[in-house]
């Protein structure tokens, strides 16, 4: 049976009371596919969300991490700090971090390695800008991100990574990639992973689509063969909007 992951990326939204209420409400939904659902929340909301989701089967995690264990990195959060909270997932290389906070493929690669070592599942974001797509360079661009991001990561460790294809032109813009465009790139990513490792790693890898996914377009995107779920920003901020996407995935089982 096809595996899914429906992951909500709250970005810099919600204070603790809102986060706790959301987690409680989401838990009360009793999703049949709860183990295929996760919330990626601000650092300061991790404890409340982890507590609120306890016993639900729904995973949770952070949106970024530093690759060093400790040291003089003012304002940063380390992998051991996330481990202590018991997170399941951590987003790495989101395009907003690449664009606004100087994230590079080199730092992404170090973060992937640090998270894998700690047993926290990285959700690695890759994807091209509008300019690159208009120049028909999306495959070359995404392949180069994958080569650099997985540099020095062995086969067993690579299989622990979730990849999210997030075309930058579709994030927060309301402009979704068509199901065929999203499928084409997710299939392409699976092919690149197959070439870097082998078909079993590629076949088992969860490859998500992210970019203005919402209740009205989720079923068509999630039905595609190579799309194993979604990384969802705006539509993950309201319980009903997010739950509709979770239900769409459950109905495709
Ligand atoms: C994201 O932040 O990863 C994302 C896909 O955002 P949105 O769903 O709002 O486009």
Domain ranges of the chain: 5-251
Distance from residue 171's CA to the centre of ligand 1 (Å): 5
pLDDT at position 207 is: 98
The dotted CATH code for 5-251 is 3.20.20.70
Check residue 34 and give its pLDDT. 98
Model pTM? Answer: 0.98
Cα 140–Cα 112–Cα 122 angle in degrees, nearest 5: 95
Residue 174 has a pLDDT of 86
CA distance 53 to 59: 8
Task: Using the mean position of ligand 1's atoms as its centre, give its distance from the Cα of residue 211 in Å.
Answer: 5
Of all protein residues, the one whose alpha carbon is nearest to atom 8 of ligand 1 is: 233
3 state DSSP class of 197: coil
Catalytic residues, by residue number, are 94, 166
Residue 48: helix, strand or coil by DSSP? Answer: helix
**Residue 1: its pLDDT value, please?**
87
Confidence (pLDDT) at 63: 99
Backbone torsions φ then ψ of 189, nearest 5 degrees: -60, -45
- The H or E element spanning position 165 is strand 162-165
Coil, strand or helix at 209: strand
Residues ≥6 apart with Cβ < 8 Å to 174: 212
245 CB near ligand 1 (under 6 Å): no
Residue 131: the pLDDT is: 95
Residues lower than pLDDT 70 in the chain: none
- What DSSP letter does each residue of 154-182 carry, written as one string? -HHHHTT-EEEE--GGGSSSS-PPPHHHH
Best probe residue, ligand 1, of 98, 126, 127, 213 (max atoms within 8 Å of C-beta): 213
């Amino acid at each position: 049976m096809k595996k899914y992951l429906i992951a909500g990326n709250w970005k810099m939204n919600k204070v603790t009371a809102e986060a706790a209420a959301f987690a409680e409400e989401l838990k009360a939904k009793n999703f049949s596919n709860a183990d295929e659902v996760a919330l990626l929340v601000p650092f300061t909301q991790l404890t409340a969300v982890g507590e609120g989701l306890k016993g639900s089967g729904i995973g949770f995690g952070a949106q970024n991490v530093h690759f060093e264990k400790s040291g003089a990195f003012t304002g940063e959060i380390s992998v051991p700090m996330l481990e202590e909270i018991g997170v399941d997932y951590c987003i790495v290389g989101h395009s907003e971090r690449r664009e606004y906070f100087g994230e590079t493929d080199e730092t992404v690669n170090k973060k992937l390695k640090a998270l894998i070592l700690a047993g926290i599942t990285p959700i690695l974001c890759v994807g091209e800008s509008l300019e690159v797509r208009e120049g028909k360079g999306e495959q070359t661009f995404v392949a180069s991100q994958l080569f650099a991001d997985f540099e020095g990561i062995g086969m067993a460790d690579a299989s622990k990574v979730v990849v999210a294809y997030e075309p930058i032109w579709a994030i927060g813009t309301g402009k979704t990639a068509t199901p065929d465009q999203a499928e084409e790139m997710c299939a392409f990513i699976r092919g690149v992973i197959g070439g870097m490792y082998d078909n079993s790693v590629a076949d088992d890898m969860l490859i998500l689509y992210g970019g203005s996914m919402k209740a009205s377009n989720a079923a068509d995107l999630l039905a595609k063969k190579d799309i194993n779920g979604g990384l969802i920003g705006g539509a993950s901020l309201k319980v009903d909007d997010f739950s509709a996407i979770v239900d769409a995935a459950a109905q495709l089982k």
